[in-house]
């Protein structure tokens, strides 16, 4: 029997989003942040095991477009990333107590639904599991089975924190798009090589028009 998932995606206030990409994105910075989150949400919603996506944000500039894609939006209490994730997880458990709950970073513009499905299938084998980022320092996904305590430890060297918390690290082949978050220009170049979602690709085309 396949496991259904509720995925929680936190989206910070866009004026603060992607600060390390500010120089590269310029006046398109807000549009870029919305586009990246939009591609993450769209890919998650297109993933068969995902029953719902819950976006946690306090920014109406993000809430509207992401709700239009099909996400459920809840208000971010603005007390840090992990508090935002726990807020979304509480809503997920209220709506669908029988589903597994996962936290997915919002900056995965190359995310592929099939690759996310592989990660979720593997995560369903453990009480709690996570996917490290491409640098093996941070975390892009953390999830728990239905009924298990949801204890995200995002921020900084979160891979080590999730390992210390007893979560199973998912070292899987073929899930590069799940691991490729975008914080720097080098990250963006790597995501472009994987293939961007349509929202981010449109903004990137504005930034760097074909010659």
- Residue 155 counted as an annotated binding residue: yes
| Residue appearing with tokens 């306090």 | 58
Residue 116's φ and ψ, nearest 5 degrees, are: -65, -40
Query: Burial level of 57, CB count in 10 A (0-12/13-18/19+)?
Result: buried
- Please give the helix or strand (H or E) that residue 83 lies within, else none: helix 81-95
- The DSSP 8-state label assigned to residue 184 in this structure reads S
Token pair, residue 12, equals 């910070």
- Residue 26 counted as an annotated binding residue: no
DSSP 117-138: HHHHHHHTTSSEEEEE-TTSSS
- The DSSP 8-state label assigned to residue 26 in this structure reads G
Answer yes or no: are the C-beta atoms of 194 and 110 closer than 8 Å: yes
- Residue 87 counted as an annotated binding residue: no
Residue ranges for the binding site?
139, 155, 158
Residue ranges for the binding site for phosphoenolpyruvate?
139, 155, 158
């Amino acid at each position: 029997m396949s496991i259904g998932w509720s995925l929680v995606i936190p989206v910070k206030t866009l004026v603060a989003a992607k600060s390390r990409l500010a120089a590269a994105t310029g006046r398109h910075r807000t549009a870029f942040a919305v586009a990246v989150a939009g591609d993450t949400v769209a890919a998650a919603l297109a993933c068969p095991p995902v029953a719902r996506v819950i976006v946690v944000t306090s920014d109406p500039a993000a809430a509207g477009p992401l709700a239009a894609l099909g996400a459920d939006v809840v208000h971010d209490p603005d007390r840090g990333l992990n508090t935002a994730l726990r807020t979304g997880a509480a809503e997920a458990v209220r709506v669908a107590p029988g589903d597994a709950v996962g936290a997915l970073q919002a900056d995965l513009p190359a995310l592929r639904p099939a690759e996310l499905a592989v990660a979720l299938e593997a995560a369903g084998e453990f009480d709690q599991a996570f996917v490290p980022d491409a640098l093996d320092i941070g975390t892009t996904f953390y999830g728990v089975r239905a009924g298990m305590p949801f204890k995200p430890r995002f921020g900084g060297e979160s891979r080590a924190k999730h390992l210390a918390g007893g979560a199973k690290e998912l070292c899987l082949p073929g899930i590069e798009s799940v691991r490729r978050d975008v914080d720097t220009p080098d990250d963006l170049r790597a995501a472009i090589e994987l293939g961007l979602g349509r929202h981010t690709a449109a903004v990137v085309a504005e930034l760097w028009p074909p010659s």
